[in-house]
Structure 1
Amino acid sequence: MAEKLRLLLFNLATDTEDSLLGFTTQWINALAPHCEYIDVITTQAGKLELADNVRVYSTGREHGYSRARRVFIFYGLLARLLMTRRYDACFAHMNQIFALLAAPLLTLRGIRQTLWYTHRSTGRGLRWALRFSYRAVTAVESSFPIPSPKVRVLGHGVDTKYFNLPMQRPALEKPMIVHVARIMPIKHQETLIRALPGLEADAIFVGGVPDGHSTAYRDELIALADKLGVAENVHFVGDQNRASVRAYYQGTTVAVNLSPVGLFDKAPLEAMACGIPTIVTNPAFEPVLGEYKALLTIPSTDAHEALHERLKTLLALSPEERENIGWNLRKGVLQYHSLHQLARRLVHVLKTGELP
């Protein structure tokens, strides 16, 4: 195999302004120096800020094309690229459908496919995509839901140059607690609201209701805040772009993530990279938390009393003490989950099938 990869990449959304998947632009750019070229087939495209050796081809979801039409476009793009370009490997990022659709043609060409997947949900599509993939890669062992000898753990790929320590944190009238996630029951925002009474702090919920989902859970959260007498302290700011999310991280006092085991979210790692003490429920974060494990974890996603006590303790610390905790958390992110480390590990897996 050539020193630099010729890479085919499947992506869900290639758009630096996408509130959920904008980070994939940074992933692609981190892979670009290791590649002669990268050709991206994406479900939808938006604003592109990519390296010169990257080309993007969209199946047209941004134009409202039907699923059947997008499949037809996908096969047309794939066939044309396979006839005109040479590839050493294929990397499918959270796109088991493209991975499965492409498997027969890639197999005929002898192109090994590696699938990235981090979620606890399984399905027939994922199982078949895994069957036809040479390797599967994920953030931590618990973030890939199907036991398989094909799985390699890479870390989560946080852009620690972007999510970094601010020159100066803004002065706040009262402490701020930030929770970054889509508004969904599985994210357990209600636990943070239940933890608020008795705390002189504002809770900022960054993230909106996903497209096609009911607003019922958001309405329940608003009603709960009103019932508990903390409505004035609860703020829903909706989906935010990457720069705004970073500003919330850098300007907050504490961050909270209440996703269960199997959902190893990137958001708390981004908060930690910004030097913010971050409370979590998923034990997969423990290597990053280090000596602060007891202070920064709660036993379950509904443990609002434990969350209240952790928040109370953190808010009582001096700014300097919280900064020290945040600095140590950032070091953990750099060690286990930086984008630089992920790109290096992923390229090695794409070339050899094994971790460096």
Structure 2
Amino acid sequence: MRLLVITQKVDTKDSNLGFFTKWISEFSKQCEHVTVICLEKGSYDAPSNVKVFSLGKEAFKKKNEKGGFLRRVHYSLRFVKLILSERKQYDGVFVHMNTEYVLLGWFVWRILRKRVTLWYVHKQVNLKLRLAEKLVEKIFTASEESCRLDSTKIEIVGHGIPVERSHQPIHTEPLHLVTVGRISPVKDVRTLLVGFSHIQKSIPVAECTVIGEPITDKDRNYALELRKEFPRAHFVGRRLQDSIYADHPYTAFIHASQTGSIDKAVLEALFAGLPVFTSSEAFGTDIPGITKFEAGNPSDLAEKIERAFREGALVIGEVGRVYVEENHSLSKLIPRIVHTYGGH
């Protein structure tokens, strides 16, 4: 099986998209050859059977060039050129998240008789997704809530969480909360930090670390407001996933994302053994290690964390780790995707 993988960015050092390099490496174990086309390429030590092509965004960044329309034309022309020139190097196509690549490449792939699938994890159902659904063989997603398009082509396969890493034990004294992800209004970080402020009134030594960065201008303004409003919270910026839980004695993970999709940051926290407090509709109380609080209600969050802390319930959760291994491990996900094309 030879596979063409299309994604936004290939860079192990990227705190937001760096995880996908592990997907590529896993694909390389399951496929004879993997060709990757990405919008932007950074640091990545590719296996011998993987070839990575960039559409050139990193070059535009270095030159500090603008001109959005001309850039998009350049990307589109190079994309079509690559899927044609590399056509003998792949049997199937896996598009990660970006539906526009399905729309741009489908005609070529139809003529070449290449099987095309899409990975999509977002609650938004827009016109591009509806059109892409007509053109692909299958849409893989992490959960029922992660792709809300009504289609028989959707297959729920769980997230792809690497489960080979080992983690340090959790220390319950003092109370140290952590949240990981993009700093954005849709992640509702303010509710988490107001809840933390409530906790500090009764547990003054409590700490809270915010790991992540803003992406858009709106995000950056939001992050600036939060830093000013909550000076006792630790904003540490981005961290590579492998280093987040390596040496840090966090007590619990807090989460209030409003995206409606299963957030892999929550699954990674569960695998690290952390108890998770979340208001996201994507997570139910049937998942081991999950405690729900009312969305937008920092008092409810604070009350549930304080109660668990005083009762000694904030301990390492082996059941959460087992849940992630069984339902969301990368080593199980990739073979399942490859099997769709008639691979291993």
- Shared fold, TM over 0.5: yes
Would the alpha carbon gap of residues 198 and 287 (structure 1) be closer, same or farther in structure 2, given more than 3 Å must change? Answer: closer
- CA drift at 1:240: 2.0
- CA drift at 1:97: 1.5
Counterparts of 1:260 and 1:254, CA distance in 2: 19
The one-letter amino acid of 1:91's match is: F
**Percent identical:** 30
Would the alpha carbon gap of residues 20 and 159 (structure 1) be closer, same or farther in structure 2, given more than 3 Å must change? Answer: same
- CA drift at 1:310: 1.6
Aligned partners of 1:6 and 1:37 also within 8 Å = yes
Question: Which of the residues 47, 50, 75 maps onto 2:43?
Answer: 47
Question: Which of the residues 3, 15, 27 maps onto 1:7?
Answer: 3
Aligned partners of 2:33 and 2:89 also within 8 Å = no
- 1:315 partnered with 2:288: no
Counterparts of 1:77 and 1:288, CA distance in 2: 45
- CA drift at 1:29: 1.1
Would the alpha carbon gap of residues 151 and 183 (structure 1) be closer, same or farther in structure 2, given more than 3 Å must change? Answer: same
Q: How does 1:1-356 map to 2 (within 5 A)?
A: 5-64=1-60, 66-82=71-87, 85-162=88-165, 164-166=166-168, 168-169=169-170, 174-196=174-196, 197-199=198-200, 200=203, 201-225=206-230, 231-232=231-232, 234-247=233-246, 251-260=249-258, 262-286=260-284, 289-290=287-288, 292-293=289-290, 296-300=291-295, 302-318=296-312, 321-324=313-316, 326-351=317-342
The one-letter amino acid of 1:286's match is: G
- CA drift at 1:198: 3.4
- CA drift at 1:181: 1.3
Would the alpha carbon gap of residues 220 and 333 (structure 1) be closer, same or farther in structure 2, given more than 3 Å must change? Answer: same
Name the Cα RMSD after superposition.
Answer: 2.2
Counterparts of 1:12 and 1:118, CA distance in 2: 14
Counterparts of 1:138 and 1:35, CA distance in 2: 21
- CA drift at 1:276: 0.7
The one-letter amino acid of 2:86's match is: L
1:103-160 Cα deviation digits (max 9, x unpaired): 0000111111100010112322222222211110100011013111110001001011
- CA drift at 1:316: 2.1
Runs of 4+ more than 4 Å apart:
none
Aligned partners of 2:3 and 2:90 also within 8 Å = yes
Aligned partners of 2:172 and 2:314 also within 8 Å = no
Counterparts of 1:221 and 1:108, CA distance in 2: 52
- CA drift at 1:182: 0.8
Would the alpha carbon gap of residues 53 and 149 (structure 1) be closer, same or farther in structure 2, given more than 3 Å must change? Answer: same
Aligned partners of 1:289 and 1:332 also within 8 Å = yes
Counterparts of 1:49 and 1:287, CA distance in 2: 40
The one-letter amino acid of 1:271's match is: A
User: Gaps spanning 5+ residues in structure 1: where?
Assistant: 226-230
1:291-333 Cα deviation digits (max 9, x unpaired): x55xx11132x02121111211232243xx5334x21111111
Which has the larger displacement, 204-213 or 140-149? 204-213
Aligned partners of 1:180 and 1:207 also within 8 Å = yes
Would the alpha carbon gap of residues 202 and 143 (structure 1) be closer, same or farther in structure 2, given more than 3 Å must change? Answer: same
Counterparts of 2:89 and 2:131, CA distance in 1: 25
Counterparts of 1:331 and 1:177, CA distance in 2: 22
Equivalent pairs counted in the alignment come to 330
Aligned partners of 2:192 and 2:255 also within 8 Å = no
Q: Normalised by the size of structure 2, how large is the TM-score?
A: 0.89
1:156-210 Cα deviation digits (max 9, x unpaired): 0101113x332x45x6873211011111111011111111223331111111110
- CA drift at 1:47: 0.8
Equivalent residue, structure 2, for 1:228: none
SS of equivalent to 2:105: helix
- CA drift at 1:261: 5.5
Aligned partners of 1:157 and 1:339 also within 8 Å = yes
- CA drift at 1:287: 7.2
Q: Normalised by the size of structure 1, how large is the TM-score?
A: 0.86
User: Gaps spanning 5+ residues in structure 2: where?
Assistant: 62-70
